[in-house]
Chain A
Amino acid sequence: MPAAAHILEARGLRKSFGANEVLKSIDLSLAPGELVFLIGPSGSGKSTLLRCCNRLEEPDAGSIQVDGEDLLSPRTDLNRLRQRVGMVFQQFNLYPHLRVISNVTLALRKVRGLPRAEAERIALGALERVGLAHKARAYPGELSGGQQQRVAIARALALEPKIMLFDEPTSALDPELVSEVLQVMRDLKKSGVTMLVVSHEMRFARDAADRIVFMEHGRIALQGTPAEILAAPPGSRARDFMTDALH
């Protein structure tokens, strides 16, 4: 099978919570290696869009292809496809009862069925990528917030996903811990990982993003490179949103 032109391709995505239509026919595609930022005011639907991309939210209509496979088809093995879509959460969501290494090996062992030694070898490699191999035997509660988030990134990376989704990965962190997580994301970008990021880190978006997608009222209002968004005429909602956050 030839490599898909897009790692992620959403078409006509709709989602309502009760009478509240949160996504109003969204089209969004990510090319391999692309780092795309989803920005917009709260309630604009960006987190919902992100969570639709691994079906933590069930879209009401539309289609999503992940690496050429139909995510929404009833015939799709969702648990297999979800391993190709890594997700990083605002609250880290590490398993507090398991050591760092077991947080990372759990899916490798229980979903992939890998033997312990093999799973731990892969997990240590993933922890190495986020600079935390030396914390493998620690419990999550013994780590700082930034370290926990890096472990969460390693947990997703260990499954070698085609795309990583980040849902406000630095919002729960103390300011001095934000940069270590952003540095890991920069490293991932360098190694060619495709990423879709919901975040308010505008400096990071400006410096690292290939594309910024500005959402408002459940629609994509504007998208382009950071330079294009910043070059939009003053008064443009997207530009103002971004520049306000930069100051």
Chain B
Amino acid sequence: MQWDRFVEVFANPAMVARYGPNILAGTWVTLQIAAAVIVTGIAAGLLLASLRSYRWRALNLLIIAFVDIFRALPPLVVILLVFFGLPNVGLSLPAFAVLWLVLSCILAAFAEEIFWAGLIAVPKGQWEAARSTGLGFGRTLLYVVLPQAIRMTVPPLTNRTIAITKNSALGTVIGVPEILNQASTAQSFSGSGTPLFLGALAYLVIFIPFVLLGRAVEKRFQWKRH
């Protein structure tokens, strides 16, 4: 491989100067989507798992249906369906909102399953001990069971969250001006590989800290077991 050629295609200074600002703008959009999806997706997943632990039959069937459907469907299919399908029934959402909503639902579905696995992994004795001191179901869940379940779920949840948040790149097909959208637009105007390379760098800049943060949280949340 010729190094000069590589630099010219992927790190052309003129291209960096010209399209750098676009990529930067896209990075800001991706960051916003990522933050919004993570907050709503994980919160919704935690809420669904908590509701499921009450074991109300009808509600649980709904939760399980939601979770299974959103885990089974490819994210792109849902995004296209919502963005191009819903306007036909009179519901037209902005592209950003569609991307946020769809990815949040998908993350919520996966997060629910992860939290649920954590909840049922907490030994029954923890429930019994708390209930025997007069704590009700909700308080036992809140103060005793959830904190333990959440600690157990940090590693799988971090991985899943990153995997789903990266799907923000799918927003490009419905015109959300995020990193990939900016980069491929610039690439098709310029014919240069540099914008795509900058885009890849931008993803690294966003997601590497995420991976590191996940690792730090994991450490912080461990407690000594006997």
Tell me the A residues contacting B by CB distance below 8 Å: 54, 56, 79-80, 82-83, 85-87, 89, 91, 93-97, 106-107, 110-111, 139-143, 145, 148, 152, 155-156, 159
Nearest to A95 among chain B residues (CB) is: B144
Residues of B within 8 A of A (CB-CB), count:
22
Q: Determine whether the beta carbon of A111 is less than 8 Å from that of B135.
A: yes
Contacts of B55 in A (CB 8 A): none
- Check B220 for interface membership: any CB of A closer than 8 A: no
Give complex CA distance A79, B135 in Å: 6
Closest 4 CB pairs of A and B: A141-B224, A93-B129, A107-B133, A93-B125
- Does B123 belong to the interface (CB within 8 Å)? yes
B133→A82 contact, CB < 8 A: yes
Whether A83 and B125, one on each chain, are in contact in the complex, defined by CB atoms closer than 8 angstroms, is: no
Given contacts A83-B133, A111-B134, contact A93 B128 (CB under 8 A): yes
* A95→B126 contact, CB < 8 A: yes
- Our pick among A80, A97, A107 for the contact of B148 (Cβ within 8 Å) is A97
Report if A56-B126 is in contact (Cβ < 8 Å); known contacts: A95-B144, A106-B143.
Answer: no
Q: Which of B128, B151, B226 has the most CB of A within 10 A?
A: B226
Alpha-carbon distance A95/B142, docked complex (angstroms): 13
Task: Please determine whether B125 and A91 come into contact, CB atoms closer than 8 angstroms.
Answer: yes
Find chain B residues with CB under 8 A from A91 CB: 123, 125
Picked from A96, A97, A159, the residue with its CB within 8 Å of the CB of B133 is A159
CA distance A152 to B131 in the complex (A): 14
Would A82 and B129 count as touching, CB distance under 8 A? no
What are the residues of chain A within 8 A of B134 when measuring CB–CB?
79-80, 82-83, 107, 111, 159
Q: Which residue of A lies closest to B226 (CB)?
A: A141
Q: Is the Cβ of B125 less than 8 Å from the Cβ of A142?
A: no
Given contacts A89-B129, A107-B130, 7 further A-B contacts (CB under 8 A): A80-B134, A85-B132, A87-B132, A110-B135, A110-B143, A141-B223, A141-B225
Check B139–A111 contact: CB distance below 8 A.
Answer: yes
B147 proximal to A (CB < 8 A): yes
| Contact indicator per residue, chain B 109-153, by CB within 8 Å of chain A (1) or not (0) | 000000000000001011011111111100100011001100100
Q: Please, which residue of chain B has its CB at the minimum distance from the CB of A142?
A: B224
